[in-house]
């Protein structure tokens, strides 16, 4: 009801992690519980880039230093005005560790997988 009445501005990030031609997907343990890429909310005083690095480390235990912005989108579902910046980071080693709470599973998928086909 709060979001409907006040329509707050929120900020979020997503990060495409690529390693040797594969992209890391994570399955959420909350909300829609579907597959997506790592990401989350931007904290007060935090830049989008800082949030992307933090979310990747929290969710899959990968420390990424060089992230670059590749896009942005606006989301008005749930009656809020959400700005989401999307980042890309190359990862040298495919090792990850899910947090077991927010993220219950992760998997590297080939970029040529049919879901990526246009």
Predicted confidence (pLDDT) per residue in 13-64, tens digit: 999 999 999 999 999 988 778 899 999 999 999 999 999 999 999 999 999 9
Q: What is the per-residue pLDDT for 2?
A: 58
pLDDT at 110 exceeding the cut of 50: yes
Q: What is the pTM of this model?
A: 0.84
Mean pLDDT of 78-87: 85
Could you give the domains of the chain? 2-116 (3.90.79.10)
Q: How far apart are CA 20 and CA 91, in angstroms?
A: 8
Q: How far apart are CA 38 and CA 40, in angstroms?
A: 7
DSSP for residue 102: S
Q: Is the dihedral of CA 18, 20, 23, 26 positive or negative?
A: negative
């Amino acid at each position: 009801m709060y979001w409907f009445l006040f329509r707050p501005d929120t900020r979020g990030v997503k990060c495409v992690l690529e390693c040797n031609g594969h992209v890391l997907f994570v399955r959420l343990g909350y909300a829609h519980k579907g597959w997506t890429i790592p990401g989350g909310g931007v904290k007060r005083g935090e830049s989008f880039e800082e949030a992307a690095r933090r979310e990747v480390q929290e969710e899959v235990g990968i420390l990424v230093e060089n992230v670059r912005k590749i896009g942005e989108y606006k989301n008005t579902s749930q009656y809020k005005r959400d700005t989401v910046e999307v980042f890309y980071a190359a990862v040298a080693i495919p090792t990850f560790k899910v947090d077991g709470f927010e993220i219950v599973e992760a998997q590297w998928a080939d970029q040529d997988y049919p879901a990526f086909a246009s």
